[in-house]
Chain A
Amino acid sequence: MLQEPKPSEMRVAYYQGCSLEQMASEFDISTRMVCEALDIELVEIPDWSCCGSTPAHSHDPLLSAALAGRNLAIAAQQGCEVVMTPCPGCLKALKGALKVYKDPQKRAAFLEILQMPFDGNIKAISNLQLFFENVGMDAVRRRVTKPLTHLSVVPYYGCLLSRPAEFMQFDDPENPVSMDRILEAIGASVPDFPYKTECCGATYGVTRNEIVGRLTGRILDMAQRVGAQAIAVSCPLCQQNLDLRQAQVSRHCHREFHIPVLYISQFMGLAFGLDPRALGINKLFVEADSLLDFLTSESEAAAATDGKIA
């Protein structure tokens, strides 16, 4: 008997981008694992290339659009209508290419450089948008086996995930809630986090890191004030500033911060019962062992209670 494909099954092209190859490899691996757990088929873009982010678009916007366009065109050739990328920088570049394609004054030049068939019928979204809008909170909730009960997590969205509003067309630009809702769905408690979109100083990371010290320090301080045990992010640069630079920030602020900063996909993986090591939790600079111990003890306590009731 022929088996009909499950209606919940989704097939999306996956654009990994350069950050996720090295520095943010745990973002890549955890996204892949969570997608697998949610029955989402990720179609790797064969021979994917640079998205045309910062170096390219500051040199020539059209070059940047064509670079991103190449990846979109290949994804479309694979029969995909949606391309997902976890990196907001890549997402901005992919969306930028579509914008150039839709601009009647730029389309011809864009297609001439591209030298590939391309009809623009493809949508670029983030993994966050995929989980929040395409999968939905009910499906996420159903997949949870180890809810993050009693764990207090604040989401940090940074600048790009929902902004500029007309360009990203996702979530509320000033008070985004998609990660809040996902964290709630996987059982965490989510305090109101006023600094969820405050600037972390990212682009000054190398040149003037005292600015990063001050701005990122404010974010960590606020997370601590609202009682967060951990921070959830969905951007490699956010993660880098909050996690890798946390010791530096601590020195700048003359106080000791110790707040693990995990990708939202890592939190989802933990709640889905996936192996923490496989999810790359051990790659964090601010180690999260205490977090994992907390979760284990909470779930044991819960199991014990269940056992008593049974």
Chain B
Amino acid sequence: MRIGVFVCQCGTNIAGTVDTEAVARKALEYADVVYATSYVYTCSEPGQQEIQRRIKEMDLQGVVVAACSPRMHEPTFRRAVERAGLNRYMFEMANIREHVSWISTDKEANTRKAMELVHMAVAKLRFNQPLFSSKVPINKRVLIIGAGVAGIQAALDCSDGGLDVVLVEKNPSIGGKMAQLDKTFPTIDCSSCILGPKMVDTAQKENITLYACSEVESVAGYVGNFKVQIRKKATYVDWNACTGCGECVQKCPSRKAPDTFNENLSNARAINIPFPQAIPKKATINRDYCLHFTRGKCGVCKKICPVRAIDYDMQDEIVTEEVGAIIVATGYDLFDHSVYGEYGGGRYPDVISGLQYERILSASGPFGGHIKRPSDGSEPKDIVFIACVGSRDASVGRPYCSGICCMYIAKQAILTKDHLPDSNCYVFYMDIRSPGKNYDEFVRRAQEEYGVQYIRGRVGKVYPRGDRLVVQGADTLLGIQVEVEADLVVLATGVEASSGAAELAEKLRISYDQYGFYMESHPKLRPVETNTAGVYLAGACQGPKDIPASVAQGSAAAAKIQALFARDVIETDPQVALVNERTCVGCLKCIMVCPFGAIQSKTLRDGSIKAEVLASVCQGCGLCNATCPPKAIQLQHATDNQILAELNTLCA
């Protein structure tokens, strides 16, 4: 084989701490290397042209580029060698930036390590074989997980583009957190007035299949051809029959069920429709509170239902859907405000979370839109907002800024002054973060037009005095301790990853960060893609976001899928396992270890049993390769011979 080696200087990124010229000179000593050079930016257009020119001039059969991580530029260089007529798998990359130049300043040691890495890449390349991908048709249906505003936007955009959409929502109604909000910043338009029509559209589109009260059970397959199992949770009400008339809710004698839509500020019945604008507007029974399930008697709803929709024997049901791409839009949860012992959230009824206050403000909320205290129903006069509760605080494991709280406090303070002009609003804040369009002007209005008192400093303690609350804090601008007596304290609870985010990530095989937010493929350039082909992200599941950003991502993810589906076929990755039938003994251990169900057994004409890999299902993990006793099953592009060649080079 005639091999060419190209050592990249990456400006000074590599050349600063690695002697790239020496690495290139050394490479000429390795077996089969006929050409080696060092170049300033190998990934640049002239850099790629240089590779192509040398392939032709020197009649190269394989190329090694020593540069950055293959995650960064392997696809770039594979395309480059392909344009010069080589098979794209006759190429190897040695990572001498992330693994060498960026982690040590010892130039001599770095140069030595870079030489070894290049030597290993050359040794492996000598055993490379041209590989060819096959083409499989794309199933042009989309699965969207989560029907908050990001998921709804993605579903509507895909639907408008003519795609079939499967929309899965864990709660009984779509709408997500936005449906719980009263008004939205910075325009104070009514949240349900702008979200409601989108929810109705989603329900009415013929090419959107909605599974509410459902969760994704398992995901198999690969881009273009996913097979997804969805668990439809038992609601004990036949939704095909239920008309949402609500008679059962009115007559239900069990009145102490938690009202999660109202953030537990009021109670719900055991059979319930979460809110008047719910989509679908169907009743659901809460088993833990239903007298039929807890005491074995009652049955009022069953007797009263005019369409006989109640079915106490209903079981969870698993349905299977086949799709070509997936958008994850599972949103966020709110920080548990009882974690801060000094604020008394969860202990004092008039210390509430931001979302609870949102429900209090809402006309469909527990108090019909009148601002009242949860403890005694009286109208508060002095209201204190505390910013950064569960944000920017490493001591509770939340060092990040939630991004939305400064704005929603300003909005809630303005709404408070609108509802109760004689009230006094105080905001304790660390910094005001309002970088969106018209956002800072909005906060200014809260301060200047509405007279909301902004106090820069943290609150140290909240405690009751009589039937009021004392808020003790610092005013760091005046350098004094301040005490505010309040009737109501609103904690600006921060954003955290949705509960269950990690489990779903494992089903989808996508990555998540230490806080449970899903990892985008590139923080700047691939914000809605994941590292798993065919799986996209939208909204706050990727990190805290406000409504405009979530909607933008929903549309962006939909656009990415339109681009993917513009093709009719998709190329499979040939780096998969392959069985050598001459040496396979038919023990079928490989079938037992394969996590993807990608191997099956087959019987040859002579009656012998052999393993067979389904190339389109195999993910190339290599477990079968490691398990196979006679080493008959080999992972293409990472065969035993290739790995041993690398090791021999390193250990020689």
A interface residues, Cβ below 8 angstroms from B: 165, 172-176, 192, 194-195, 198, 225
How distant is A219 from chain B, measured CB to nearest CB, in Å?
A: 12
**B464 touching A174 by the CB < 8 A rule?**
no
Per CB-CB distance, the 4 closest pairs between chain A and chain B, nearest first, are: A175-B341, A194-B463, A174-B341, A174-B342
**B461 on the interface (CB 8 Å rule)?**
yes
Q: Interface residue count for B (Cβ, 8 Å)?
A: 11
**B464 touching A194 by the CB < 8 A rule?**
yes
**A192 touching B340 by the CB < 8 A rule?**
no
Identify which of A173, A195, A198, A225 contacts B341 (C-beta below 8 A): A173
Residues of the A chain whose Cβ atoms lie less than 8 Å from the Cβ of B465: 225
Q: How far is the CA of A241 from the CA of B341 in the complex (A)?
A: 25
**B204 on the interface (CB 8 Å rule)?**
no
**B395 on the interface (CB 8 Å rule)?**
yes
Residues facing A in B465-504 (CB within 8 A) are: 465, 470
Residues of the A chain whose Cβ atoms lie less than 8 Å from the Cβ of B461: 194, 198
**A165 touching B463 by the CB < 8 A rule?**
no
Residues of the A chain whose Cβ atoms lie less than 8 Å from the Cβ of B344: 175
**B395 touching A165 by the CB < 8 A rule?**
yes
Identify which of A165, A175, A192 contacts B342 (C-beta below 8 A): A175
B interface residues, Cβ below 8 angstroms from A: 340-342, 344, 347, 395, 461, 463-465, 470
Residues of the B chain whose Cβ atoms lie less than 8 Å from the Cβ of A195: 463
How distant is B474 from chain A, measured CB to nearest CB, in Å?
A: 14
Residues of the A chain whose Cβ atoms lie less than 8 Å from the Cβ of B340: 174
Residues of the B chain whose Cβ atoms lie less than 8 Å from the Cβ of A172: 341
Q: Pick the most buried of B341, B342, B461: most chain A CB atoms within 10 A of its CB.
A: B341
A-B contact count (CB 8 A): 21
Looking across the interface, which residue of chain B has its beta carbon closest to that of A165? B395
Q: How far is the CA of A175 from the CA of B340 in the complex (A)?
A: 8
Q: How far is the CA of A217 from the CA of B4 in the complex (A)?
A: 82
**A192 touching B341 by the CB < 8 A rule?**
no
List 6 A-B residue pairs with CB atoms under 8 Å apart, sorted by A's residue number.
A174-B340, A175-B341, A175-B342, A194-B464, A195-B463, A225-B465
Residues of the A chain whose Cβ atoms lie less than 8 Å from the Cβ of B347: 175, 192
Residues of the B chain whose Cβ atoms lie less than 8 Å from the Cβ of A198: 461
Q: How far is the CA of A192 from the CA of B344 in the complex (A)?
A: 11
Q: How far is the CA of A198 from the CA of B342 in the complex (A)?
A: 11
Residues of the B chain whose Cβ atoms lie less than 8 Å from the Cβ of A173: 341
Residues of the B chain whose Cβ atoms lie less than 8 Å from the Cβ of A165: 395
Q: How far is the CA of A303 from the CA of B464 in the complex (A)?
A: 36
Q: How far is the CA of A225 from the CA of B470 in the complex (A)?
A: 14
Residues of the A chain whose Cβ atoms lie less than 8 Å from the Cβ of B342: 174-175
Looking across the interface, which residue of chain A has its beta carbon closest to that of B343? A174
Residues of the A chain whose Cβ atoms lie less than 8 Å from the Cβ of B395: 165
Residues of the B chain whose Cβ atoms lie less than 8 Å from the Cβ of A175: 341-342, 344, 347
Q: How far is the CA of A192 from the CA of B341 in the complex (A)?
A: 12
Residues of the A chain whose Cβ atoms lie less than 8 Å from the Cβ of B464: 192, 194
How distant is A180 from chain B, measured CB to nearest CB, in Å?
A: 12
Residues of the B chain whose Cβ atoms lie less than 8 Å from the Cβ of A194: 461, 463-464, 470
Residues of the B chain whose Cβ atoms lie less than 8 Å from the Cβ of A176: 341
Q: Pick the most buried of A173, A175, A195, A198: most chain B CB atoms within 10 A of its CB.
A: A175
Q: How far is the CA of A175 from the CA of B347 in the complex (A)?
A: 11
How distant is A117 from chain B, measured CB to nearest CB, in Å?
A: 37
Looking across the interface, which residue of chain A has its beta carbon closest to that of B395? A165
How distant is B393 from chain A, measured CB to nearest CB, in Å?
A: 12
Q: How far is the CA of A198 from the CA of B340 in the complex (A)?
A: 16
15 other A-B residue contacts (CB within 8 Å) besides A165-B395, A175-B341, A194-B464 = A172-B341, A173-B341, A174-B340, A174-B341, A174-B342, A175-B342, A175-B347, A176-B341, A192-B347, A192-B463, A192-B464, A194-B463, A194-B470, A198-B461, A225-B465
Looking across the interface, which residue of chain A has its beta carbon closest to that of B340? A174
Looking across the interface, which residue of chain B has its beta carbon closest to that of A225? B465
Q: How far is the CA of A112 from the CA of B470 in the complex (A)?
A: 53
Q: How far is the CA of A138 from the CA of B340 in the complex (A)?
A: 28
Q: How far is the CA of A308 from the CA of B341 in the complex (A)?
A: 45
How distant is A204 from chain B, measured CB to nearest CB, in Å?
A: 17
How distant is A118 from chain B, measured CB to nearest CB, in Å?
A: 32
How distant is A199 from chain B, measured CB to nearest CB, in Å?
A: 10
How distant is B491 from chain A, measured CB to nearest CB, in Å?
A: 14
Looking across the interface, which residue of chain B has its beta carbon closest to that of A175? B341
How distant is B281 from chain A, measured CB to nearest CB, in Å?
A: 42
Looking across the interface, which residue of chain A has its beta carbon closest to that of B469? A194
Residues of the B chain whose Cβ atoms lie less than 8 Å from the Cβ of A225: 465
Looking across the interface, which residue of chain B has its beta carbon closest to that of A197? B342
Q: How far is the CA of A284 from the CA of B342 in the complex (A)?
A: 31
Q: Pick the most buried of B347, B461, B470: most chain A CB atoms within 10 A of its CB.
A: B461
Looking across the interface, which residue of chain A has its beta carbon closest to that of B341? A175
Looking across the interface, which residue of chain A has its beta carbon closest to that of B462? A194
How distant is B651 from chain A, measured CB to nearest CB, in Å?
A: 31
Q: How far is the CA of A172 from the CA of B341 in the complex (A)?
A: 7
Q: Pick the most buried of A176, A194, A195, A225: most chain B CB atoms within 10 A of its CB.
A: A194
How distant is B570 from chain A, measured CB to nearest CB, in Å?
A: 50
How distant is A191 from chain B, measured CB to nearest CB, in Å?
A: 10
Q: How far is the CA of A176 from the CA of B342 in the complex (A)?
A: 10
Q: Pick the most buried of B342, B347, B464, B470: most chain A CB atoms within 10 A of its CB.
A: B342
How distant is B284 from chain A, measured CB to nearest CB, in Å?
A: 36
Residues of the B chain whose Cβ atoms lie less than 8 Å from the Cβ of A192: 347, 463-464
Q: How far is the CA of A175 from the CA of B338 in the complex (A)?
A: 11
How distant is A24 from chain B, measured CB to nearest CB, in Å?
A: 28
Looking across the interface, which residue of chain B has its beta carbon closest to that of A172? B341
Q: How far is the CA of A166 from the CA of B342 in the complex (A)?
A: 17
Residues of the A chain whose Cβ atoms lie less than 8 Å from the Cβ of B470: 194
Q: How far is the CA of A192 from the CA of B351 in the complex (A)?
A: 15
Q: How far is the CA of A194 from the CA of B343 in the complex (A)?
A: 10
Q: How far is the CA of A174 from the CA of B343 in the complex (A)?
A: 9
How distant is A190 from chain B, measured CB to nearest CB, in Å?
A: 13
Looking across the interface, which residue of chain B has its beta carbon closest to that of A176? B341
Looking across the interface, which residue of chain A has its beta carbon closest to that of B470? A194
Residues of the B chain whose Cβ atoms lie less than 8 Å from the Cβ of A174: 340-342
How distant is A296 from chain B, measured CB to nearest CB, in Å?
A: 33
Looking across the interface, which residue of chain B has its beta carbon closest to that of A177? B341
How distant is B566 from chain A, measured CB to nearest CB, in Å?
A: 54
Q: How far is the CA of A198 from the CA of B472 in the complex (A)?
A: 11
Q: How far is the CA of A225 from the CA of B344 in the complex (A)?
A: 18
Q: How far is the CA of A225 from the CA of B395 in the complex (A)?
A: 32
Q: How far is the CA of A192 from the CA of B347 in the complex (A)?
A: 10
Residues of the A chain whose Cβ atoms lie less than 8 Å from the Cβ of B463: 192, 194-195
How distant is B407 from chain A, measured CB to nearest CB, in Å?
A: 27
How distant is A224 from chain B, measured CB to nearest CB, in Å?
A: 13
How distant is A201 from chain B, measured CB to nearest CB, in Å?
A: 14
Q: How far is the CA of A175 from the CA of B462 in the complex (A)?
A: 11
How distant is A269 from chain B, measured CB to nearest CB, in Å?
A: 29
Q: How far is the CA of A82 from the CA of B344 in the complex (A)?
A: 34
Looking across the interface, which residue of chain B has its beta carbon closest to that of A162? B341
Q: How far is the CA of A198 from the CA of B470 in the complex (A)?
A: 14
How distant is A174 from chain B, measured CB to nearest CB, in Å?
A: 4
Q: How far is the CA of A194 from the CA of B469 in the complex (A)?
A: 11
How distant is A300 from chain B, measured CB to nearest CB, in Å?
A: 34
Q: Pick the most buried of A174, A176, A225: most chain B CB atoms within 10 A of its CB.
A: A174
Q: How far is the CA of A178 from the CA of B340 in the complex (A)?
A: 17
Looking across the interface, which residue of chain B has its beta carbon closest to that of A198? B461
Looking across the interface, which residue of chain B has its beta carbon closest to that of A171? B341
Q: How far is the CA of A165 from the CA of B393 in the complex (A)?
A: 14
How distant is B562 from chain A, measured CB to nearest CB, in Å?
A: 50
Q: How far is the CA of A192 from the CA of B470 in the complex (A)?
A: 14
Q: How far is the CA of A165 from the CA of B397 in the complex (A)?
A: 13
Q: How far is the CA of A195 from the CA of B465 in the complex (A)?
A: 12
Q: How far is the CA of A172 from the CA of B345 in the complex (A)?
A: 14
Q: How far is the CA of A173 from the CA of B393 in the complex (A)?
A: 15
How distant is A222 from chain B, measured CB to nearest CB, in Å?
A: 8
Q: How far is the CA of A176 from the CA of B341 in the complex (A)?
A: 8
Q: How far is the CA of A104 from the CA of B344 in the complex (A)?
A: 40
How distant is B399 from chain A, measured CB to nearest CB, in Å?
A: 15
Q: How far is the CA of A285 from the CA of B383 in the complex (A)?
A: 43
How distant is B270 from chain A, measured CB to nearest CB, in Å?
A: 33
Q: How far is the CA of A217 from the CA of B375 in the complex (A)?
A: 31
Q: How far is the CA of A175 from the CA of B346 in the complex (A)?
A: 12
